[in-house]
Amino acid sequence: MNRTLFRTLTWLMWLALPLTALRFWLVWDQLPLRMATHFGASGQPNGWMTREVSLEFALGITAFLLLVFTAVLLVVHKQHVPEKFSWALLGFFYLVLGFMYSVNMSVLGYNLRGESVKPGLGFLLLPVAIVALIGIYVSTQRGEPLLVQQWIARETHASPGLAVVFLVPVVVELWIITLAPAGPIRMVGAVMCVLFLVLAAFAWNGFQYNFGPGGLEIRTLGFRLRSIPLAQIQSYGVERWSLLRGYGIRGVGGSRAYVWGNKVVHIRTPQGEVFLGHGDPEQIVRDLDMIRH
């Protein structure tokens, strides 16, 4: 990684703060003393602030995002996170800041010229970018594929109940789409429907664990999530999984969990910890015993 360029682009994000302040300053005398700052789905205002509070709010939100993003990127820079994910994360932060800047400019446009405030391209790009960022992160942590002629054992860990839960927002979004006028709101609703459908399919399909002479492979929806060579499996045992730790693919750094329930097998490797959820974790232990012995 070109670390000098990465660090430079990290600090260049802070230009969002003076640019926002400059835009307010250039039109300050033209702004009404009481500004519309919050808008409903139809684009009509339903919240107001003084122009001073509006400026403070815009700068405060931007500064908060910059502090969080800079701290995260500095940690990424020091921890030697995979290059592909580091650059993807930097690009995502720029996208969020660009979206926030466009929102602030839309508020100014309404108060200066009465321009309508409607969801823009950012509402479509942000959820897609989040999914892409997660996909890139997962792909950088999966290791090399195992050379296996035939799997010795296969297990599946899914949650049809959570899949149904993810379908509820799909129904809500479809109802919103039928009520909303044609335009950006419908497009946003369609994107959200697709995202929740993917989550439902993810939970329904679950995680597939393949055990072979070379080690363990974890897959979902036909995609290889992680390969753990047999030589890297140091120890393992059954544990309880807390609801507060969440479901799906969890964890940062060297820890990773693939969980849809409250029972897991905790595997320790030189690269970190891996948690495999399963309704019968003892079966996972037996499968691991079989390939190790």
Output the DSSP codes for 189-208: HHHHHHHHHHHHHHHHH-EE
Region of poorest pLDDT, from 72-76, 90-94, 97-101, 281-285: 72-76
More confident residue, 113 or 235: 235
Q: HSE-up of 275 (CA within 13 Å, CB side)?
A: 25
CA distances 228 to 211, 219, 225, 278, Å, are: 10, 12, 10, 17
Max mean pLDDT range (75-84, 108-117, 187-196, 274-283):
274-283
Q: What is the pLDDT of residue 116?
A: 73
Region of poorest pLDDT, from 7-11, 53-57, 101-105, 122-126: 122-126
Fill in the DSSP letter of residue 254. T
**Sequence spans of domains, the chain:** 3-140, 143-153+208-293, 159-205
* 207 beta partners: 157
The answer, yes or no, to whether residue 3 has pLDDT greater than 80, is no
3-state secondary structure of 161: helix
Please report which confidence band the pLDDT of residue 177 belongs to, taking 50, 70 and 90 as the band edges.
confident
Q: What is the pLDDT of residue 290?
A: 92
pTM reported for the whole predicted model: 0.70
Q: What is the pLDDT of residue 193?
A: 84
Please report which confidence band the pLDDT of residue 265 belongs to, taking 50, 70 and 90 as the band edges.
very high
Structure tokens at 83: 């290059």
Q: Which CATH architecture has domain 143-153+208-293?
A: Roll (2.30)
Q: What is the pLDDT of residue 182?
A: 61
Over residues 215-234, mean pLDDT:
91
| Helix ranges (DSSP H) in the chain | 3-12, 16-26, 51-79, 83-113, 121-140, 160-179, 184-205, 281-292
